[in-house]
Amino acid sequence: MALAALEPKDLLAVWSLDRLAHSLAHLLDTVDRIRDKGAGLWSISEDIDTADPDTGPPILEIFAALKDCQRAIRREDALIGLAAARRRGRVGGRPPALTDTAVAQARTMKAHGATVTEIAGVLGVARSTVHRCLA
């Protein structure tokens, strides 16, 4: 691939940015890879040249701002999705290892002098789980 062959001070010329990447996120990642190699990008159709000392730095700043915006949009979408799932009664994450009944049993056993190791053995969980439920 052309990106793998890039060396510092090279200029990758493409007819159009849509020929370089299939999405905005992919374009931004690709531009980062080109910049990290010390090379420049020239898009002929859009007349974008990141190697130009006058226009290159502002264009790279715009690309960085777009990347931050894209990241913020993805984060916001994820949070909206999680909130919607919670409203539907769905809770993410791993299910609790102990039911309320098992926690009550662990507390009763501890009150009667059982060790954490013994409680863990009876309930079939790790000692750290017992420590958490007794805290």
Q: What is the pLDDT of residues 15-25, one digit of tens each?
A: 999 999 988 88
Domain annotation covers residue 68:
yes
Mutual angle of helices 100-111 and 116-123, in 10-degree steps: 150
Sheet with 48-49, side-by-side order of all strands: 11-14, 40-43, 48-49
Closest C-alpha to 117, from 108, 133, 126: 126
* 14 and 50, same domain (yes or no): yes
Model pTM score? 0.58
Residue 31, domain member (yes or no): yes
Q: What is the pLDDT of residue 78?
A: 95
The Cα diameter of the chain in Å comes to: 79
Considering the domain architecture, whether residues 57 and 10 belong to the same structural domain is answered as yes
CA–CA separation, 46 and 60 (whole Å): 14
pLDDT tens digits, one per residue of 45-61: 999 999 998 999 999 89
Do the domain assignments include residue 23? yes
119 and 83 in a common domain: no
Is residue 57 domain-shared with residue 121, that is, in the same domain?
Answer: no
Task: Inform me whether the pLDDT recorded for 91 exceeds 90.
Answer: no
